[in-house]
Structure 1
Amino acid sequence: MDRPNIQGQIGYLTLNSEGAVLASEGDLKNDEKTAGILHGLITLAHNRLDPKAFDKGFKRLTVTYEDHAYVVCLSNRKIHIVKRQVQAT
């Protein structure tokens, strides 16, 4: 599968709905620990957030650190995670 390169991308994971890694590359290559943590975060958000947010089409969740961010998107029953480098302002 040919993945588009996202500006600042330093790694990616693709998970199935149960959290199993389907594809990975870069900093996240074979990173099942990060996959498990982010899958757990999605599950927690799904259980704690207003259900209407998911009914309306939950699109993206971003976890931001000082130097990088994880962008999580749900699409076609798969979880797409991109690790991006964040530029200091």
Structure 2
Amino acid sequence: MSFGLERIPDQLGYLVISEDGVLASAGELENDEHTAGVIMQMMRTACRFRLQGAAEPPFKRMSEDYVYTVTVSGQKVFVVKRQNNHREPVVV
């Protein structure tokens, strides 16, 4: 029930969360109910701040040393933890 998240390159762990709690987890996020709760609260808070007339959430990423990629699909929240690889901007 990993939904293919274990195949994501450089992933350090993942969570699949619903309103009922953690459905699946692995790696550094395995059985991490605390992080799941924090991420769900962050998502609820961030989704409340919508720009006037904007259809999409007003954020793309919330990160520091790690990137937590969060995707909402149906009634599930998919979270993948990856190392944040800081890249220099491409100058064209």
Gaps of 5+ in 2: 88-92
Q: Are residues 51 and 28 of structure 1, via their aligned partners in 2, closer, same or farther at CA, if it must alter by over 3 Å?
A: farther
SS state at 2:62 partner: strand
CA contact (8 A) 1:8 1:86 kept: no
SS state at 2:15 partner: strand
Specify the alignment match of 1:48 in structure 2: 49
Specify the alignment match of 2:73 in structure 1: 75
Specify the alignment match of 1:8 in structure 2: 10
TM-score by length of 1: 0.78
Gaps of 5+ in 1: none
- Higher normalized strand content (fraction of residues): 1
For residue 43 of structure 1, what is the amino acid of its counterpart?
Answer: R
For residue 28 of structure 1, what is the amino acid of its counterpart?
Answer: L
Q: What are the superposed Cα offsets for residues 28-78 of structure 1, whole Å, 9 maximum, x if unpaired?
A: 00001110111001100122223754xx355x8422212x11110001221
CA distance in 2, matches of 1:51, 1:8: 37
Within 5 A, what are the aligned runs for 1:3-42?
3-4=4-5, 5-16=7-18, 18=19, 20-42=21-43
CA contact (8 A) 1:73 1:79 kept: yes
Specify the alignment match of 2:64 in structure 1: 65
Could you say what the CA RMSD is over the residues aligned between the two structures, in angstroms? 2.2
Equivalenced residues, count: 84
For residue 32 of structure 1, what is the amino acid of its counterpart?
Answer: E
- Higher normalized helix content (fraction of residues): 1
Identity of aligned residues (%): 35
Q: Which has the larger radius of gyration?
A: 2
